[in-house]
Amino acid sequence: MRMILVGAPASGKGTQAKVLCERFSVPQIATGDMLRAAKAARTELGLKAASYMDAGKLVPDEVVIGLIEQRLQAADAAGGFVLDGFPRTVPQAEALRELLERLGQRLDAVVQLEVPREMLVERAVLRRTDKRTGQIYHLKYNPPPPDAELEHRVDDREETVVARLDTYEKMTAALLPYYEGKGLLLRIDGVGTPSEITERLLRVLRKG
């Protein structure tokens, strides 16, 4: 399984990517997670990315393309992957196409999770991650256990979420037609419980 999950911030992409990866025994490759790790480790790349991330803007294409080129050539990605948060621009999509061609691999599907904008702000603002396990919770809809060590992403503050949603809308305006034109795009309703959404995802993937 080689697929891309596309969805706005807090659309449930990360949660679903984790479930699909377990199901298909492939790694989840999330540029946002990779960039946050680089930022926390204060690497040169991480520090360069941080100013864009904190403002809710896209990190330059060459930075994320470089990360993905390395990551997709690691042994554990040879049998498949779920890309979460990459590509976000047409140049990134083109770079991915070229890389997969070089590796002799083919994309199976691009799935978009559709969630109305008004729901996304509430989801992001009340989202928390357990820093020990990476598990994602929602204070109202999916409360964490009492012993969780919770973190609130700095870019999940309301004003940054609004900027990230604007960025996402501009991005999909070009990216979705790109994949639609290639006959790879599948859309699913992203409103519901996590397990309902997983069911929908598996159903469209089976139909392909």
Site for ligand AMP in 65-124 (CB under 6 A): 85-88, 92
- In the complex, the smallest distance separating the C-beta of residue 117 from ligand AMP, rounded to whole angstroms, is 15
Q: Which residue is nearest to ligand AMP (CB)?
A: 32
Q: Is 57 a catalytic residue?
A: no
CA distances from 103 to 44, 50, 82, 98, 106 (A): 28, 30, 16, 9, 9
Assess 9 for contact with ligand AMP (CB under 6 A).
yes
Q: Could you tell me which residues come within 8 angstroms of residue 11 by beta carbon, excluding any fewer than 6 positions away?
A: 113, 114, 115, 120, 123, 190
18, 36, 71, 88: the active-site residue: 88
Site for ligand AMP in 126-165 (CB under 6 A): 155, 164
- In the complex, the smallest distance separating the C-beta of residue 139 from ligand AMP, rounded to whole angstroms, is 19
Q: Using CA atoms of 3, 51, 67, 110 in order, give the dihedral in degrees to the nearest 10.
A: 10
The b/e string for 7-43 (b: 16+ C-beta within 10 A; e otherwise) is bbbbbbbbbbbbbbbeebebbbbbbbebbbebbeeee
> Could you say which of 32, 115, 127, 128 contacts ligand AMP (CB under 6 A)?
32
- In the complex, the smallest distance separating the C-beta of residue 52 from ligand AMP, rounded to whole angstroms, is 5
Q: Is 203 a catalytic residue?
A: no
> Could you say which of 52, 94, 142, 180 contacts ligand AMP (CB under 6 A)?
52
